[in-house]
Amino acid sequence: MNLSDEEIRKGCLRNSSKAQKALFQKYHGVFQGICMRYGKDKAEVEDVLIEGFTRIYKKMNSYNGKGSFEGWMKRIIINTAIDNFRKNKKHYYHEDILDYEEHFSTEPLVVEQFSVDDILKTIQELPPGYRMVFNLYAIEGYSHKEIAEVLEISVNTSKTQLLKARKKLQARLSELKGSVLNLNVG
């Protein structure tokens, strides 16, 4: 039996384990995909996912019905990933854009040549700071000012990390493109 989001939400408000299970089953895949963009490995992805769902259950009564329920939950999952990054930030290296003068080619790559798994794996290979900034800026639509505030870094650091993330992604996707071309030729 498929329950609507509203039925699931009301059940979760009553602390129904069936409703909580239904919510998890319905959104696990979507939210795991989000966590995979931010996490460095499977263990971290699962930790952020479980913590995110725990927060959703605890904050269920704060959903006011404005905007989509899924969007509200997605924001909690992203904020959980940001909190995880902040907690581990001391392990990450940051540098200022003023110290970074290396330029990279802006030649566009044809993203359609790659599978979603290839692109996701390439994003996951980025260093944590680069990955976080790239996801927040390029995928979630945050401004550099917003990123600087939530990650407690400077705007220039955000810009630097985005620039370096794009460079690394471009280089890695170029390598993959070369591998695909070599496989097709040989």
160: containing domain: 97-185
Query: For the residues 59-65, what does the mean pLDDT come to?
Result: 92
Please tell me whether residues 20 and 81 are part of one structural domain. yes
Please tell me whether residues 83 and 113 are part of one structural domain. no
Q: Backbone phi, then psi, for 140, in 5-degree steps?
A: -90, -15
Select, from the ranges 26-35, 106-115, 117-126, the one with the highest average predicted confidence (pLDDT): 26-35
Predicted TM-score of the model (pTM): 0.69
Structure tokens at 20: 């909580």
Provide the CATH number for the domain around residue 51. 1.10.1740.10
Residue from 103, 165, 174 nearest 134 by CA: 165
Number of domains in the chain: 2
Tell me how far apart the alpha carbons of residues 73 and 9 are, in angstroms, rounded to a whole number.
11
Query: For the residues 96-102, what does the mean pLDDT come to?
Result: 41
The pLDDT assigned to 124 comes to: 86
54 contact partners, CB below 8 Å, separation of at least 6:
none
Query: For the residues 35-62, what does the mean pLDDT come to?
Result: 92
Please tell me whether residues 27 and 71 are part of one structural domain. yes
Residue with tokens 């110290």: 99
Residue that finishes a domain, picked among 91, 125, 146: 91
Please tell me whether residues 57 and 103 are part of one structural domain. no
Residue that finishes a domain, picked among 44, 75, 91: 91
